[in-house]
Amino acid sequence: MADIREVWVFSGVNAKFPSAVFAVKEDAFEWIRKYELTGVLTRYPVGISVYEWAIESGNFKVRSQRDSAPEFVGKFSSAMQEHMHFENGIFA
């Protein structure tokens, strides 16, 4: 099996946790359409946190101590991650 470098994570509206993870984006699209889901599908790197990925890719710069505090790092997400919004199973 080839090394997985990225995954696609689906989070439904108001969900506290993701409901699905896919290695192939098209599989995620099919599942979202099948169940007419509303939410966001986001690409995540594997083997590195989004926080570290954003720093390494130049999309985020640590400017203060707050920017590297555990609570901040633990909640970090980046608008630079590829993501798609769906409504009732349709790409919005």
Q: Encode pLDDT of 64-73 as tens digits.
A: 999 999 999 9
Q: What gap in Å lies between CA 55 and CA 62, rounded to an integer?
A: 8
Residue bearing tokens 């993701």 = 18
Domain that includes residue 34, residue range: 6-91
> Residue 4: its pLDDT value, please?
82
Domain contains 1: no
**Residues of 58-83 as b/e, b for ≥16 C-beta within 10 angstroms?**
eebeeeeeeeeeeeeeeebeeeebeb
> Residue 2: its pLDDT value, please?
63
**Which is it for strands 83-87 and 90-91: parallel, antiparallel or unpaired?**
antiparallel
CA-nearest of 25, 22, 33, 38 to 86 is 38
Query: Which of the residues in the chain have pLDDT under 50?
Result: 1
> Residue 78: its pLDDT value, please?
96
> Residue 3: its pLDDT value, please?
83
Domain contains 16: yes
Domain contains 10: yes
Total domains, the chain: 1
Q: What gap in Å lies between CA 86 and CA 42, rounded to an integer?
A: 11
